[in-house]
Amino acid sequence: MRAPFALGCLALVYLSAVFAGFVAPYDPTTQHRELAFVSPTRIHFVDDTGRLHLRPFVYAMIPASTGTAVIEDRSRPYPIRFVVRGARGRVAGVADSDWHLFGTESPTPLFLFGSDDFGRDLFSRLLFGGQISLFAGLLGAALSLALGTVIGGVAGYYGGWVDEINMRIAELFLALPWLYLLFAVRMALPLDLAPTQAFLLVLILIAVVGWARPARLVRGLVLSARARDYVAAARCLGASDAYLLRRHVLPQIIGMLLTQAALLAPQYILAEVTLSFFGLGVEEPVPSWGNMLASLQRYHVVASYWWMFLPGIVMVPVFWLYHSLADALHRRAMST
């Protein structure tokens, strides 16, 4: 796969998370207590009389008398319309809007991916959850790479005792069982955190634990770049350290850094998911892919409601795109 294509697809995924307020039909925390664990709403094209509708439609749902099952009220079809007005919410964190990408006039919600144990729309939660999980991955990768580049760069460029100290610390961090470290650190912090605080915390945790591997890589690259003849020549001509790093060393390693970013981002998405899965990340009712998957810790959910796996399943294409991107970037870096 070519890098622009993978990048384009990923951009689309990220944009739909950023504009979740518009793309998602409902607020992710609105509970529909009559409609818990409802399977994905069936989208129809043919009604009971056999007539074909060009515009897809749904039926309203009536809760059955027992359990969580629902039945379709087939008396009236509700066409799915695009770009409609619905619940008011914040879009991309800047503007309030009541426009949504799609919706129906049905008295019961259109659960594209089904509903969860509180009758919340899983599709909307998935998109809003992406705001946390996807960006924790991306920003976590950026932050740990930045840290790793500075520390690894300094170690590789100056060598000597600076190198020794930095790299021994890096090895220490590599040897730590990071998952348990994250647990321990999270446990030591206040229990009740606002979602933004929790998000920042997860981000910082990821970066602090994750800087060592890129730092070792960057150190190696800088070490080899520094030893090149033209770098030595520039140095003899009186070039400053800053000039050398900017002009000669950084261009050598930028390709590898981007590849690393593409490899680290999915790892860190998974880290956020793991933390939230164990209740140490973003807390209910704010969705993240991890805390959405947490309900799978219960037997009856695993055994009865397949759509509750969807937050886990959507990670597969996202990770695949990231790995394709890393692959393409790697080839490009090798060929230059």
Partner 1 sequence: MMRLFGLLVLLVASVSASSFATQRAPASDRFVSTGDVGQRGGQLVVAQRTEPRTLNPITAVDSPSRDVIRRTTADLIHVNRDTQQLEPALAKSWTVSPDGRRFTLLLRRGVRFSDGDVFDADDVVFSFQVYLDEKVASTQRDNLMVGGKPIAVTKLDQYSVQIDVPDQYSSAERLFDSVAMLPRHLLAQPYQEGRLVEAWGLGTPAAAMAGLGPFRFAEHVPGERLVLERNANYWKEDRAGTQLPYLDRVVFVSVPSEDAQAVRFQAGEADVVTRLSATNFELLLKDQPRRNYELRDLGAGLTYEFVFFNQNDPAPALSAEAAARRRWFRQLAFRQAVGSAIDRDGIVRLTYRGRATPLWGHVPPGNKAWFNQALPRPARSLDRARQQLRAAGFSWLPDGTLIDDQRQPVAFTILTNSGNAERNQIATIIQDDLKQIGMRVGVVTLDLRAMLDRVMTTHDYDACVLGLSGGDGDPNSEMNVWLSSGATHLWRPGQKVPATPWEEEIDALMREQIRTRDGQRRKRLYDRVQLLVADNLPIISLVSPNVLVGATTGLANFRPTVLDHPALWNLEELFWRGRRAGAAQ
Under the rule (CB under 8 A), what is the footprint of partner 1?
29, 31, 33-34, 36, 66-68, 117-119, 191-193, 279, 283-285, 298-301, 303-304
Note the helical H segments in 248-308.
Answer: 250-277, 289-293, 299-304
Alpha-carbon distance values, 97 to 21, 64, 89, 227 (Å): 8, 34, 6, 57
Which tokens belong to 191? 């229990």
Amino acid identity for residue 32 in this structure: H
- Kindly tell me which of 33 and 51 has the beta carbon lying closer to partner 1: 33
Residue 255 CA to residue 108 CA, distance in Å, equals: 50
- Kindly tell me which of 29 and 267 has the beta carbon lying closer to partner 1: 29
Give min distance, CB of 190 to partner 1, in A: 10
Give min distance, CB of 285 to partner 1, in A: 7
- Kindly tell me which of 114 and 153 has the beta carbon lying closer to partner 1: 114
- Kindly tell me which of 57 and 305 has the beta carbon lying closer to partner 1: 305
Residue 294 CA to residue 304 CA, distance in Å, equals: 15
82: enclosing H helix or E strand: strand 81-91
| Residue whose pair of structure tokens reads 């319309």 in the numeric block | 81
Residue 130 CA to residue 281 CA, distance in Å, equals: 14
| Residue whose pair of structure tokens reads 């770049």 in the numeric block | 225
54: enclosing H helix or E strand: strand 52-63
Give min distance, CB of 278 to partner 1, in A: 10
- Kindly tell me which of 34 and 171 has the beta carbon lying closer to partner 1: 34
Give min distance, CB of 192 to partner 1, in A: 4
Give min distance, CB of 287 to partner 1, in A: 12
Q: Is the dihedral of CA 309, 59, 84, 102 positive or negative?
A: positive
Partners of residue 90 on adjacent β-strands: 96
- Kindly tell me which of 93 and 238 has the beta carbon lying closer to partner 1: 93
Give min distance, CB of 179 to partner 1, in A: 18
100: enclosing H helix or E strand: strand 95-103
